[in-house]
Structure 1
Amino acid sequence: MTEVSKSSKGPASTEGPIVFVVEDDVSVRRSLSNLLQSVGLKVELFGSASEMLESQLPDVTSCLVLDVRLPGLSGLDFQTELAKANIQIPIIFMTGHGDIPMTVRAMKGGAVDFLTKPFREQEMLDAVLAAIERDRKRREADKILGDLQARFEALSSREREILAGVSSGLMNKQIAAKLGLAEITVKIHRGHIMKKMGAKSLADLVKRAEALGISNVRP
Structure 2
Amino acid sequence: MKQDDLTRLVYIVDDDFSVRDSLRLLIEATGQTVRQFESAEAFLHDYNHQVPSCLVLDVNLPGMDGLGLQQQLAKKDIAIPIIFISGHAGIPDSAKAFRAGAVDFLKKPLDTALLIERINEALRKDTEAWQERRSKLERQERIDRLTDREKEVLHLIMDSYSNKEAARILGISYRTIDLHRAHIMEKLEAGNIVGLIRIAMYNNELNNKALCA
Do Structure 1 and Structure 2 share a fold, with TM-score over 0.5?
Answer: yes
Q: Answer yes or no: is 1:158 the counterpart of 2:128.
A: no
Q: Determine whether 1:201 maps to 2:192.
A: yes
Alignment-derived partner of residue 4 in structure 1: none
Instruction: Write out per-residue CA displacement over residues 142-186 of structure 1, whole angstroms, 9 at most, x where no aligned residue.
Output: 222222222111111100111122223333333333322233322
* Selected match of 2:175 from 184, 194, 202: 184
29, 32, 40: which one pairs with 2:20?
Answer: 29
Match of 2:45 among 48, 54, 59: 54
Match in the other structure for 2:163: 172
More helix by share: 2
Distance 1:167 1:214, change over 3 A: farther
Q: In structure 1, how many angstroms separate the alpha carbons of the residues matched to 2:143 and 2:180?
A: 14
For 1:39, give the aligned amino acid. Answer: T
Deviation at 1:57, TM superposition (A): 4.5
The percentage of counterpart residues that share the same residue type is 37
Post-superposition shift, 1:128? 0.8
Q: TM-score under structure 1 normalisation?
A: 0.81
How far 1:79 moved relative to its partner?
A: 1.5
Aligned length: 206
- Show structure 1 runs of 5+ residues with no match: 1-12
Whether 2:112 is the aligned partner of 1:121: answer yes
Report the TM-score when normalising by structure 2. Answer: 0.83
RMSD over aligned CA atoms reads 2.5
Residue 55 of structure 1 aligns with an amino acid whose one-letter code is: D
More divergent stretch after superposition (113-122 vs 155-164):
113-122
Classify the secondary structure of the residue corresponding to 1:92. strand
Could you say what secondary structure the match of 2:63 adopts? coil
Q: 1:39 aligns with which of 30, 34, 59?
A: 30
Unaligned segments of structure 2, at least 5 residues = none
Deviation, structure 1 residue 15: 7.2
Aligned partner of residue 204 in structure 2, secondary structure: coil
